Amino acid sequence: MTLTDQPSIILETERLLVRSWIESDRDLFREINADSKVMEFFAFRRSHAEADALLERINGSIQDTGLGFYALEVKDTAEPIGFCGLSLANMPEIFPAETVEIGWRLATRFWGRGYVTEAAGALLQLAFREKSIPALLAFAVESNRRSTSVMERIGMRRCRDMDFIHPRVPDTHPHLKRHVVYAAVAEGVATG
């Protein structure tokens, strides 16, 4: 599915547009997927062709299901900065098929400004209020304190009994295998 030049707006926050991807976002997406700091807690970097293919899949999912990792744009400058979104976790080895995760990545030059916390907090509310998703998970490499801090700031709680060894992380990267899990549950949803 080819990217267009006209984005669909998912939601708007004080400083950000959360939207579908457009053709001019490719360079940013490539940058994020090749940056060693952004990808510090992943076992691989993506080539331009791999990043392009992934971007097409992500945008297709947004168009097909309304779920996916949405582009983030700074309203004042119309500049894309990364992504944040709601997506099926797609980890049948670990979670039930209907499990929805919230996740994010930003280009390093935009770190430290609270953009992810702003977007993720708004998406958490969108998931519960408009999409009727009863619970969200987020997971990260145990030592990825930047991500787990965002999880805590948006009100997610650590679920130690759900921590897992990621089945898709190769044995060549043992320090990236252990993942911690955080969850948020919509009001009125009974928890085990």
Closest by alpha carbon to 59, among 31, 106, 24, 94? 24
- Mean predicted lDDT score pLDDT of the chain: 93
CA distance 60 to 98: 19
> Model-level pTM?
0.92
Share of the chain above pLDDT 90, in %: 86
- SS3 category, 179: strand
In the chain the domains, ranked by start, together with CATH numbers, are: 9-185 (3.40.630.30)
H helix count then E strand count, the chain:
4, 9
Q: What is the pLDDT of residue 49?
A: 94
Q: Among 70, 38, 45, 65, which Cα is nearest to 55's?
A: 70
3: left (phi over 0), alpha (psi -120 to 50) or beta: beta
Identify whether the C-beta of residue 178 lies closer than 8 Å to the C-beta of residue 161: no
CA 119 from centre of chain: 10
pLDDT in tens, 139-185: 999 999 999 999 999 999 999 999 999 999 999 999 999 999 999 99
Q: Which of 78, 84, 101, 104 is nearest to 11 (CA)?
A: 84
The Cα 10–Cα 28 span in angstroms is 19
41-70: pLDDT as tens digits: 998 899 999 999 999 999 888 888 889 999
